Amino acid sequence: MDKILTTYNGQEFTVGGAILEFSYLLAAILFVYGLKLLSRPETARKGNFWAAAGMVLAMITTLLLHTDAGGNRIGITNAVVIIITVAAGSVLGLVISKRVKMTAMPQLVSFFNATGGLASALVGLLEFSNPHNQSLLVTLLGLIVGSIAFSGSMIAYGKLDGKIGNMGAAYMKYVNFLILAGLTVLTIYILMQPDPHSVGVFVYILFAAALIYGVLFVMPIGGADMPVVISLLNSLTGIAAALAGFIYSNEAMILGGILVGAAGSILTLLMCKAMNRSLLSVIIGGFGGGSSAEGDEGGTIKEISVSDAAILLAYSKKVVVVPGYGLAVAQAQHTVHELEKLLESKGVSVKFGIHPVAGRMPGHLNVLLAEADVSYDKLVEMDEINKEMETTDVVIVVGANDVVNPSANDHPGSPIYGMPIINAEQAKNVIVMKRGMGKGYAGIENPLFFRDNTRMLFGNAKDSIQKLVNEVNTL
């Protein structure tokens, strides 16, 4: 494997090195192919498989063929430690993923994202003291970005799980700007030293400051912006992984990190566009964190019985279901699919209107409904479903709130004003399924509940839908 193929500009090229480089190229192709398949729900499972295959290939060839700057391979002891660690992590990840509920999937994504950021941060922390490391700027950047991704993702996990609330955004943005400026100044100071390795204590200060910044950066961000934040943190983890790849001159890490970082960045910008907000306003605005009742019209809540709702649905021509996080909490995806099939058997057209930021992470409800075998062509994006609202007989809002809140269109003083929503109020009839009159994740009142064409069906979404199925069956 170490036979020299050729020498160019003083550098030797061996058989093992050629195989390693080819494996990285093949891994990169598998990464890109996997991402392409991930762009469509029906091929997403295959996309995960091929991308994972590329990562496994890169890991195996790196373990067998990678050499350091001195031409030394990974020692037996290191190889055993690496294999044991990878095996333990794989088993732990498998167990956690098998046990997690769909309602907790956003938290799981945040937790996994945090581990990636921490790994990259530790690479930067450890490699800074390596006298052979000539990429000090990249090392410090990897340390900072990875630390922010780690602590920020852990705070996102806590907020999504309801363990952590919001911190006042009015002053936090100034604190964050000061910390970010301090990180910049400290990085420059370390790099300007004649012997940067001699000021290692400042690297630990940099590490601690970056962790604090990650915490304070996410704390002010309100619930309605959490899907955007998760996507942004995922992008930072990818960037940190790419920087770690530059430290080790490992093309597979660089390519993988760049792909994750680019995909996360594109998704973040697309979601900001879907919410009609700039990325800066998401980061510093604390959107959805207050309890403003702007747009609260008051009025009388009108309820509907299960039997009346069943009759209304059974004799409709077009029904649109708008799912929200409440559907995931109630685990009602299979029941709502049963209702969909039953109504279609009676000649009713049923579609699902999916808002880009419904749920707690990008694509949350798409995955949830796909798990229940809802046909992909029935999952209609916001812009397209809005074109059909005026001709829709009944809109069923299942556990959604902010994404159908008319305040986004009608009340300039509302915290969500300007955010595109699914215009459920334009339908002839609206049935809202909720446990009670609690406010949504953004913490503001929803005037839709008081409109003349809206009826409330209170109770657990799964139970309510099952009762509807039973009633429709009797008609």
The residues annotated with a catalytic role in the active site are 402
350 vs 343: CA distance, rounded Å? 7
280 vs 225: CA distance, rounded Å? 12
415 vs 439: CA distance, rounded Å? 14
Instruction: Report residue 404 CA to chain centroid gap.
Output: 21
- Please provide the DSSP assignment of 399-424 as one string: S--GGG-THHHH-TTSTTTT-----G
- Please provide the DSSP assignment of 66-109 as one string: -B-TTSPBPPHHHHHHHHHHHHHHHHHHHHHHHH--GGGHHHHH
- Please provide the DSSP assignment of 356-397 as one string: TT-SSSTTHHHHHHHHTT--GGGEEEHHHHHTTGGG-SEEEE
Retrieve residue 213's tokens: 């910044």
In the three-class reduction of DSSP (H, G, I as helix; E, B as strand; rest coil), residue 353 is classed as strand
Beta bridge partners of 386: none
Measured in degrees and rounded to the nearest 5, phi and psi for residue 419 equal: -75, 125
Instruction: Report residue 471 CA to chain centroid gap.
Output: 38
* Residue 321 · residue 340 · CB < 8 Å: yes
Q: Which of 53, 65, 33, 24 is nearest to 245 (CA)?
A: 24
3 state SS for 107-161 = HHHHHHHHHHHHHHHHHHHHHCCCCCCCCHHHHHHHHHHHHHHHHHHHHHHHHHC
Retrieve residue 463's tokens: 């139970």
Q: Exposure of 464 by Cβ count < 10 A (0-12 exposed, 13-18 middle, 19+ buried)?
A: buried
* Residue 154 · residue 195 · CB < 8 Å: no
Neighbours of 29 (CB within 10 A): 13
In the three-class reduction of DSSP (H, G, I as helix; E, B as strand; rest coil), residue 253 is classed as helix
- Please provide the DSSP assignment of 183-208 as one string: HHHHHHHHHHSSSGGGGHHHHHHHHH
* Residue 439 · residue 411 · CB < 8 Å: no
In the three-class reduction of DSSP (H, G, I as helix; E, B as strand; rest coil), residue 209 is classed as helix
